[in-house]
Structure 1
Amino acid sequence: MIGPSSDPAELIAHLETLRSEEAIAGMARFGIVTGRALGISNPNIRAVARLAKRDHARATQLWQSPIREARLLALYTAEPKRLTVDEARNWADDFNSWEIVDCAADLFVEARLDELIPEFAANEREFVRRAAFAMIAGAAVHRKDEADATILAWLPLIEAHSGDSRNFVSKAVNWALRSIGKRNRACYGPALGLAELLAESPDKTARWIGRDAVRELSGEKLLARLK
């Protein structure tokens, strides 16, 4: 039985028992890198994480595995307060899948490694840049106690990279903009203003990001919630 005392090898061996070839094929259709995947759903990996409990040293060892599920388990069992900027940078060097990026972004936001956002945004690698905007989206949604000024200060990064046409970047930039706009009334106006600006851009990608954000931020349900 796995638990808090289980080492990385034992946890990976347990994950191997949950392998599903059918699920692997399904994941590939969603753009998930499946070369070293076991086909385990995120809820089931989280269930393993709950049994294993948080252990930062063990999480860093799990991350060394190329197996998708081992890396997700590392992200779910790492200790945010112990995660360092250098560790986050090293993990980002291994990013090769949007879902790994998005799970890592949640951890980095919880660890309050905001200094990495402009650094990752400036990085030309697709998945590292995505991490910056996934972090912005996550912070806008989950950090309720954060000053709105901190959130709004990331809008220039969104504008600066709105022309990156790579799929996993442009979708994350759009996600970040929409998330800021939906945060509260104070963030709504500036985010909508940027969305409207981008919607008129001569750049195709920026124009899509802006128009899509304007459409969502103009929804009646959202406007009613923000009143």
Structure 2
Amino acid sequence: MPASPAEEHPVAFDDPHYRAAVVDLLGAIGYGEVSAFERLAEDAALAPTLEDKLALAAMAAAQVGHLVRLRDRLTELGADPFEAMESFRVPIDDFHRHTAPSDWHEGLVKAYVGDGLAADFYREVAAFLDAGTRELIVESLEDAGHSAFVVDRVRADIARDPRLGGRLALWGRRLMGEALTQAQRVAAERDALSALLAGGVDRPGLDLAALGRMFTRITERHAARMQELGLDS
């Protein structure tokens, strides 16, 4: 059944502040996809086997597929997708510069834990959006089963060398700290995103207690991922 005019143009988009927040959020996720593609391509060079290289190549290709949909949606909203993404280049590049993996295993953990933290934050914010935008974001953050590859590799290598687990657990904690710092920085520096989290006449908002619970949920999901990897959080 064709979408009704109301479905094609949610009333929330009549609010310029809401539209600006959506453009900001899609721009942030879009640049995150660009950055993830570049990082996974670099990590593939560290892969010990051809099978591992191809697995990371598939993960990188998935980022491009997500990026195309985000770019198209930004264009539909009348925004320049590259300008929207450029706004988040510095904080996202800073995160990756501060968390550059030193070897194959750190790269795997970062691909799973680091990207998972970012995805959790964006999903939390997406709860405040119209259904169409929320669905696009959730689909763009799907890992298409790639997490199973990372979990299998890391757990198998820790079983062979238990000392590896301690080092990677420390690495996971560092990723958590850096990711939360950058998420809070982005939310604070972008007025439209801050206003979105504060709510509106037709949308709920987050007070300080609710914001604290949001970051608690993100922390709990991080701990669950670390446990899946066989690491202490």
Name the one with the larger helix percent: 2
TM-score (norm 2): 0.27
Q: Larger relative contact order (C-alpha < 8 A, sep ≥ 6)?
A: 2
TM-score (norm 1): 0.27
